[in-house]
Amino acid sequence: MRIIYNDCTDPYFNLASEEFLVEAGRGDIFMIWRNEKSVIIGKNQNAYGEINIDFCEKSGIKIVRRLTGGGAVFHDTGNVNFSFITDAPEESGIDFLPYIKRVTDALAAFGIKAYPNGRNDIEAGGYKISGNAQCRHNCADGRVRLLHHGTLLFSADMASLEGALNVKADKIEAKGIQSVRSRVANIRDIDGYTGPEGAEDFARALCKGAEGFAPEEIKAIEELSLEKYSKWEWNFGKSPEFSKTLGKRFPFGEVEVSYSAKKGIIESISIRGDFFSSADISALENKLIGVSLEREELTDALADVGRYVHGAACEDMISLFV
3-state secondary structure the chain: CEEEEECCCCHHHHHHHHHHHHHHCCCCEEEEECCCCEEEECCCCCHHHHECHHHHHHHCCEEEECCCCCCCEEECCCEEEEEEEEECCCCCCCCCHHHHHHHHHHHHCCCCCEEEECCCEEEECCEEEEEEEEEEEECCCCCEEEEEEEEEECCCCHHHHHHHECCCHHHHHHHCCCCHHHHECCHHHCCCCCCCCCHHHHHHHCCCCCECCCHHHHHHHHHHHHHHHCCHHHHCCCCCCCCEEEEEEECCEEEEEEEEEECCEEEEEEEEECCCCCCCHHHHHHHHCCCECCHHHHHHHCCCHHHCCCCCCHHHHHCCCC
Of 185, 211, 235, which residue sits at a domain end?
235
Q: Quick one: 50 and 77 in the same domain?
A: yes
pLDDT at 173: 45
pLDDT at 161: 83
Q: Which amino acid is at 288?
A: L
pLDDT at 163: 85
Instruction: Answer yes or no: is pLDDT of 128 > 70.
Output: yes
Q: Quick one: 221 and 165 in the same domain?
A: yes
Percent of the chain with pLDDT over 90: 75
Question: Do residues 36 and 62 touch, judged by C-beta distance below 8 A?
Answer: yes
Of 200, 235, 270, which residue sits at a domain end?
235
Q: Quick one: 217 and 303 in the same domain?
A: no
Out of 86-95, 190-199, 236-245, least confident range: 236-245
Q: Quick one: 183 and 99 in the same domain?
A: yes
Q: Quick one: 199 and 309 in the same domain?
A: no
Out of 6-20, 172-186, 217-231, 239-253, least confident range: 172-186
Choose between 162 and 322: higher pLDDT. Answer: 162
Give the pLDDT mean for 231-250. Answer: 82
Q: Quick one: 44 and 126 in the same domain?
A: yes
Q: Quick one: 215 and 263 in the same domain?
A: no
Of 186, 204, 235, which residue sits at a domain end?
235
Q: Quick one: 272 and 150 in the same domain?
A: no
Quick one: pLDDT band at residue 245, thresholds 50, 70, 90? confident
Q: Quick one: 43 and 128 in the same domain?
A: yes
pLDDT in tens, 87-119: 998 766 789 999 999 999 999 999 999 999 988
pLDDT at 177: 38
pLDDT in tens, 171-180: 434 444 333 4
Give the pLDDT mean for 208-221. Answer: 96
Q: Quick one: 156 and 250 in the same domain?
A: no
Out of 34-38, 73-77, 180-184, 315-319, least confident range: 180-184
Those residues whose C-beta lies under 8 Å from the C-beta of residue 303, and which sit 6 or more positions away, are 314
Number of domains in the chain: 2
User: Quick one: which of 66, 59, 71, 61 has its CA closest to 83?
Assistant: 66
Residue 309: domain span: 244-318
pLDDT in tens, 59-72: 999 999 999 999 99
Instruction: Answer yes or no: is pLDDT of 241 > 80.
Output: no
Quick one: pLDDT band at residue 54, thresholds 50, 70, 90? confident
pTM of the entire structure? Answer: 0.87
Q: In CATH, what number is assigned to the domain containing residue 131? A: 3.30.930.10
Q: Quick one: 117 and 138 in the same domain?
A: yes
pLDDT at 124: 96
Q: Quick one: 177 and 294 in the same domain?
A: no
Instruction: Answer yes or no: is pLDDT of 164 > 90.
Output: no
Question: Do residues 195 and 205 touch, judged by C-beta distance below 8 A?
Answer: yes
Question: Do residues 280 and 310 touch, judged by C-beta distance below 8 A?
Answer: no
Q: What is the mean pLDDT of the chain?
A: 90
pLDDT at 176: 42
